[in-house]
Amino acid sequence: GAGVSQSPRYKVAKRGQDVALRCDPISGHVSLFWYQQALGQGPEFLTYFQNEAQLDKSGLPSDRFFAERPEGSVSTLKIQRTQQEDSAVYLCASSLAGGEQFFGPGTRLTVL
Amino acid sequence: GENVEQHPSTLSVQEGDSAVIKCTYSDSASNYFPWYKQELGKRPQLIIDIRSNVGEKKDQRIAVTLNKTAKHFSLHITETQPEDSAVYFCAASSEDSSYKLIFGSGTRLLVRP
């Protein structure tokens, strides 16, 4: 079956622009995670959904970051008024409850 | 909060030799420890994982050991091959923390032919 997909794969934004990143999880996976991976670093947790409920958003770096999963499937990570420090790869992962997390290919965001 | 430390940051071995990567974690509630392999520009892919109710797990050339008392776990790759060259990340998680993965900083493994 299809794995986790993300779009766009690459996004270039001017500082101050808003961006929206999409994640399509594996069908049937109730858990969905967003991570941020800076160049040369390990992924860092941003937020977690169980179905449509956002149960943990402790990793979101500022109130410019917002995530939603309204129907318990596709998720969108939105970044408002992008800053240069937001440049990173944004990874989405999905899993069965408590199971192995399968990662998407990521969206590479570059803020100029 | 949970912290995971990983070392070495880089590791170069001759093809056929073994490679060992070590991680320590801080949260005693952690009970799931996966290892991911990430090739340049690609997604992280799980290569092996271990839960806290076992001390060792092996899958062909790859093994992971866990010492809960010392809060450390290690990845062992035997008979290394050039295609093993990649960045390897350890991680820890627990049900108490929403199963979010806390990653180490990564080890860049180079297997010289």
Nearest Cβ partner for B100 among A41, A45, A100: A45
CA distance B87 to chain A (A): 9
| Phi and psi torsions of B82, nearest 5° | -55, -35
Decide if B14 contacts B109 (C-beta within 8 A): no
CA distance B110 to chain A (A): 15
Interface test mutation site (partner B, options A4, A10, A45, max chain B beta carbons within 10 A): A45
Nearest Cβ partner for A43 among B95, B99, B103: B103
Decide if A78 contacts A63 (C-beta within 8 A): no
Q: Please indicate if any CB of chain B lies within 8 Å of the CB of A49.
A: no
Q: In the predicted model, is pLDDT for residue A1 greater than 70?
A: no
Q: Give the tens place of pLDDT for each residue, B19-32.
A: 999 999 999 999 99
| Strand partners of residue A65 | A79
Q: Give the tens place of pLDDT for each residue, A49-104.
A: 999 999 999 999 999 999 999 999 999 999 999 999 999 999 999 999 888 999 99
Cβ pair A48:B43 closer than 8 A: no
Sign, Cα dihedral of A105, B99, B101, B111: negative
